[in-house]
């Protein structure tokens, strides 16, 4: 069974401090991993996908297959980063299944 674990429901950091939102997964095949974000009163939207290896809004995430992790990082938090962050795993193969984590609320304190 595939599983996504986000161990922290709430993460509070000061503006300018580094941010790390943790995501661990369990999946027997080669997963596709994503980070989605939901800002206040907005829709859920894609932030990052691991295959792109890109940096969006200063955030990066590296897939570590050995540790089965896909942590989201940003060196300097900004107030506008305050939002709900969800890690998601998509199974490989033709018949697909998506698993989201419970989400982590990031609160950036001015």
Partner 1 sequence: ETGVTQSPTHLIKTRGQQVTLRCSSQSGHNTVSWYQQALGQGPQFIFQYYREEENGRGNFPPRFSGLQFPNYSSELNVNALELDDSALYLCASSSVGLAGNEQFFGPGTRLTVL
**What radius of gyration, in Å, describes the C-alpha atoms of the chain?**
14
* 61 and 52 Cβ atoms separated by less than 8 Å: no
By CB under 8 A, tell whether 106 contacts partner 1. Answer: no
Q: Given the complex with partner 1, which of 39 and 76 has the nearer CB atom?
A: 39
Q: Given the complex with partner 1, which of 81 and 103 has the nearer CB atom?
A: 103
Q: Given the complex with partner 1, which of 28 and 96 has the nearer CB atom?
A: 96
By CB under 8 A, tell whether 92 contacts partner 1. Answer: yes
CA–CA dist 95, 109 (Å, integer): 42
Give me the phi and psi of 25, to 5 degrees please.
-130, 160
Interacting residues with partner 1 between 7 and 36 (CB under 8 A): 32
- How many CA atoms lie within 13 Å of 106's alpha carbon, on the beta-carbon side? 28
Dig out the tokens for 22 from the structure.
């943790």
CB within 8 Å of 66: residues ≥ 6 apart: none
By CB under 8 A, tell whether 64 contacts partner 1. Answer: no
Q: Given the complex with partner 1, which of 17 and 46 has the nearer CB atom?
A: 46
Q: Please report how close the Cβ of residue 76 comes to partner 1 at its closest, in angstroms.
A: 26
Binding site for partner 1 (CB under 8 A): 4, 6, 32, 43-46, 49, 51, 86, 90-92, 94-103
């Amino acid at each position: 069974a595939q599983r996504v674990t986000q161990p922290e429901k709430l993460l509070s950091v000061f503006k300018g401090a580094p941010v790390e939102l943790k995501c661990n997964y369990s999946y027997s095949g080669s997963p596709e991993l994503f980070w989605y974000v939901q800002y206040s009163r907005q829709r859920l939207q894609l932030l990052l996908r691991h295959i792109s290896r890109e940096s969006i809004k200063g955030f990066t995430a590296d897939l570590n297959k050995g540790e089965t992790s896909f942590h989201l990082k940003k060196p300097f938090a900004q107030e506008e980063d305050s939002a709900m962050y969800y890690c998601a795993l998509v199974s490989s193969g033709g018949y697909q299944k998506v698993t989201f984590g419970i989400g982590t609320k990031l609160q950036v304190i001015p």
